[in-house]
Structure 1
């Protein structure tokens, strides 16, 4: 397996992983905004925006690499945070 094939396996995982973190950051931003910590909430929202940009770049990289490897689409494992 060459490096490009390995990347085609890893990119879908990275895309899904970043999506999960973005959703978590957004929930925390709402929680902190509700607690009067708007400055922290806004920083978390900025992190969400950066993850959206990363998501777009990762999807483009996956597309240019040839898409997910056969049988790899939708593969995901959970991290405990």
Structure 2
């Protein structure tokens, strides 16, 4: 498997992971809206940055030829969003 194929396997995971963190930042921004509006504003800005990154990653995946399943797997990455606490 060449490097481009490896990235075609990794990009869908990166996109999913990035999307999950963006959603989590927005949830915390709402949670902190009354208690700490400035932190909420920063979290919304971080979520927006991740949404921009997700757009670029999706374009990269499209340019690379779309998702490619990992060898020996029916799909590139299973499961849902990873949460780090």
Provide TM-score, normalisation by structure 2: 0.84
Matches of 1:7 and 1:21, distance apart in 2 = 20
Asked if 2 retains the 8 angstrom alpha-carbon contact of 1:25 and 1:44, the reply is yes
Asked if 2 retains the 8 angstrom alpha-carbon contact of 1:13 and 1:76, the reply is no
Which residue number corresponds to residue 48 of structure 2?
A: 49
Q: Once superposed, what is the RMSD of the aligned Cα atoms?
A: 1.7
1:38 aligns to 2:37 (yes or no): yes
Displacement after TM superposition at 1:80 (Å):
4.4
Q: What is the count of residue pairs matched by the alignment?
A: 80
Which residue number corresponds to residue 5 of structure 1?
A: 5
Unaligned runs of 5+ in 1: none
Higher helix share: 1
